Structure 1
């Protein structure tokens, strides 16, 4: 529970606040960018919610916070049914971000061929019940070692297969299905795994229906710069390999959504994304520092 006696001094006056335990994972700012901003290396309330829509956005931010750093003094908002949150038909943001994954986003997808989870939120009752009502989980797709979180608990509860690249298997020793090599792998009709070594050696993106690209921590949309970007300071394996991995996608992959583990998500045309991805690869190859966008968009 957030502690009002430790509220950050930059919070706007009013009942909503962020205390000093915030890890600056950016989850709250993604849910309610007009209400939460970064100050002194953490999120704070820029202004109090004043409409019903803003109250819902602030509550989603509170539920997403992995460190329980967001609080409300006085009347508590309604929290039932806010997650998973449908962002496009059949594609849901899970919320309930886990501290085990540094507050990464995870996504739930409902499809006739079988529902799947991309990375893992916290294993909490409201999510489990909602997943059950939507048909359960048949597959759990892990983008890389950092964002495994409670995948094993969801897998055990739903009897789901767990996919991860063999080079990151150490993070999910109970995984049932391994992705190997660097070539794209068709997991089922319309769903492919795209190995993208760089952030970690076993990083993978997942492409659904040439529309939704689940990027893990290999690629994200910068809200401040309004373009695709990548985390240079949080590249654990090879920045050069990450640039080459992304370069392979420029002319070989079509997508209209970037759904990132860390960093912003965005919907745009394939042509806009292709041009932005090509520009990003050029910046990475020429050594342009991307640390500025990292500091302003997300820190973990």
Structure 2
């Protein structure tokens, strides 16, 4: 196994969901002068929202972020998010405001400004599970550039790691700085790089991306992975090449905590089913399934994805049984995995 040390020289031997056409159009339009009337229409309150303070506007891209962050408040109605129940308790209001800040298109609003937002801004990054996954955080502030992908921060004594890129905001940067900044930015694949360059400049972190997923916007990443790996970062992190969704998709295995950061390789869908999001596959579904089989050999209980929802297994045996069952199911639909 090749080692990518935390200091000194590096030795070396990237699912994001593709943007649906309607979303690409919106994003493209966002880079040019847009008629104020068009913008105003998209910012109007969706009629599907229940009456009350919080609401979602017409520009929602149905990325699901608010629905897993604040499931009591937000739901899916007519293929977009909407407020299904106004938050009343302190916890529900905090979660709704965290979703507001994390929405990649800034589509969540309150009827009037609230002073609570200042305190909520300070809550990021959010602990994934303080007791069972110490030192692992959701960054929040999802980016439309990566269709709302989730980025993570790993606090580690040998150097902190950003996993994929959140939307750049100085508020988040200052909060991450309190944790010690970031020494590395591991990019799982080409789709979820978002504001990687801004984060690199802010923290001086070394960006890691597989060479097969490098494109014009990432040509200057400091660390390009070559070949099939595996590679390692220090003593506790392995990088596993899992091509299929893209040629250079790579998962990060945090061995002591038994966590796998999968990017867009594998996740749980909003319907609580396992998913490889094959409708957005860029290269080969069969190749992605082959790569999924690799995960049977890894010891992990948690999957923290870029898109989709996290998965927790009781133990490695349950994980392997679930993966084998999923692969057998897919084998009926795809030729020779």
TM over 0.5: yes
Match for residue 136 of structure 1? 181
- Partners of 2:321 and 2:255 in 1: how far apart? 20
SS of the residue 1:233 aligns to = helix
Q: CA deviation at 1:273?
A: 2.2
Match of 1:120 among 165, 168, 182: 165
TM-score, with length taken from structure 2: 0.81
- Partners of 2:323 and 2:171 in 1: how far apart? 37
Q: CA deviation at 1:3?
A: 7.8
- Partners of 2:71 and 2:311 in 1: how far apart? 13
Aligned residues: 286
* Alpha carbons 2:236, 2:254 under 8 Å: kept: yes
- Partners of 1:4 and 1:116 in 2: how far apart? 36
- Closer, same or farther: CA 167–4 of 1 in aligned 2, 3 Å: closer
SS of the residue 1:83 aligns to = coil
- Partners of 1:28 and 1:2 in 2: how far apart? 22
Match of 1:161 among 181, 196, 206: 206
Q: With CA pairs under 8 Å and 6+ residues apart, which has the higher RCO, 1 or 2?
A: 2
Match for residue 8 of structure 1? 46
- Closer, same or farther: CA 101–5 of 1 in aligned 2, 3 Å: closer
134-143 vs 205-214, greater mean Cα deviation: 205-214
Q: CA deviation at 1:182?
A: 2.2
Q: CA RMSD in A?
A: 1.8
Match for residue 230 of structure 1? 276
Structure 2, unaligned runs of 5 or more: 1-38
Deviations 1:241-289 (A, max 9, x none): 0000001211x1111211111100133323322222222222222217x
Structure 1, unaligned runs of 5 or more: 289-300
* Alpha carbons 2:43, 2:58 under 8 Å: kept: no
Match of 1:47 among 85, 92, 107: 85
1:37 maps to 2:78: no
Deviations 1:12-44 (A, max 9, x none): 111110010000111111101222111122111
Match of 1:176 among 198, 222, 233: 222
Match of 1:83 among 112, 124, 127: 124
- Partners of 2:59 and 2:78 in 1: how far apart? 12
TM-score, with length taken from structure 1: 0.91
